[in-house]
Structure 1
């Protein structure tokens, strides 16, 4: 098996790196970390661009998602808040508070008008970006929501959890919150950490298997 070596090694965070986004049209990425900061990096040199982004009293960051137009980053953290950051100014432009647990996952709708968040409080919320209000709150029945993902046309929303073999993934109507489907899974107990939709609207789940004695 060939050995793969990294092109760059970027150092600066003092906590676990939780998420990475790529800025479209640029050789730049942004990372978020348990140290509470977001940091932009140059992919050519591996050097951090400017100072890290921080918000006053922000806790460790758990999740991050870039808007479809590449101008806004949504972040979620241990404090249960969702923050929107302007990529150019590197400042917080909105702060949404409703979750009572860690915000572990975020996803933008295709039109950039909504953000879906998933939390360890077991809920998924859909936010109106312009008003900052929750327009739909789904009590998923998951103990924790580890991942949430819009379908390509943003009509459906998939959620994933851990420790629930029979209901590890659920699919919802993104407008009404109606449960549409609970895909069957016949394997061992797992944690669903990532979900992806194919272009034709089919769902794929990526899991971490937890073997029980």
Structure 2
């Protein structure tokens, strides 16, 4: 599920591939649209609230299941079928808009992790940078868009993104405030609003 930037609506994806819009003031369902043939695993809303990104399970023409990433406008009108990923592990992955809303990032959990970037206006792949050596569950942009925290089977990695170049992996020298937590096996993570901590 995902809140709209204005905090007035919440979007919920269900196991049948439908996205439901709920008004948080009246608790009434406003509308819905069919996004995937099967369950929706992730939803993201663009910073300006005008686009929706879904990641869900689809069956392709060969009757092979996989994760399909799709871009929509706020009414549910399709903008682009971004990508289809086969041979995923447990249909795990994550999607997000960059903080400036210009790019879409997708990470898919595979034997060799897939990390790709797309133009949010067209849905086309940005060929300048992919990271394929990591298997990942999810990621989080820093508020300034300069760093992405990447959570995978090998723990948390910080990736420094520079325009027109590949990711450069930063040393994972981070201080854990709760020492009982293990480095590996995190399911989710998120930057704090000031960009100084990972939660």
TM-score interval, normalised by the smaller of the two chains: 0.7 to 0.9
User: Shift of the alpha carbon at 1:68?
Assistant: 0.5
Q: Which residue of 2 aligns with 1:172?
A: 159
Q: Which residue of 1 aligns with 2:187?
A: 193
Q: Which residue of 2 aligns with 1:59?
A: 38
The 5 A counterparts of 1:104-115 are 104-115=93-104
Q: Which residue of 1 aligns with 2:52?
A: 73
The 5 A counterparts of 1:54-133 are 54-55=34-35, 58-78=37-57, 79-87=66-74, 89-100=75-86, 101=88, 102=91, 104-121=93-110, 122-133=113-124
2:55 and 2:13 mapped to 1: Cα distance? Answer: 10
Q: Are the counterparts in 2 of residues 151 and 157 from structure 1 also a CA contact under 8 Å? A: yes
> Which one has more relative contact order, counting CA pairs under 8 Å at least 6 apart?
2
Aligned length: 177
Q: Are the counterparts in 2 of residues 28 and 41 from structure 1 also a CA contact under 8 Å? A: yes
Q: 1:181 aligns with which of 171, 174, 198?
A: 171
User: Shift of the alpha carbon at 1:190?
Assistant: 4.6
Gap regions ≥5 residues in structure 2: 58-65
Q: Which residue of 1 aligns with 2:12?
A: 31
Q: Report the RMSD for the aligned CA atoms in angstroms.
A: 2.3
Q: Are the counterparts in 1 of residues 79 and 122 from structure 2 also a CA contact under 8 Å? A: no
2:6 and 2:27 mapped to 1: Cα distance? Answer: 17
User: Shift of the alpha carbon at 1:103?
Assistant: 5.5
User: Shift of the alpha carbon at 1:93?
Assistant: 1.1
Are 2:130 and 1:137 aligned?
A: yes
**Taking structure 1 as the reference length, what is the TM-score of the superposition?**
0.73
Q: Are the counterparts in 2 of residues 118 and 125 from structure 1 also a CA contact under 8 Å? A: yes
Gap regions ≥5 residues in structure 1: 1-19, 206-213
Cα deviation 1:23-42 (Å, max 9, x = unaligned): 23363211112221100012
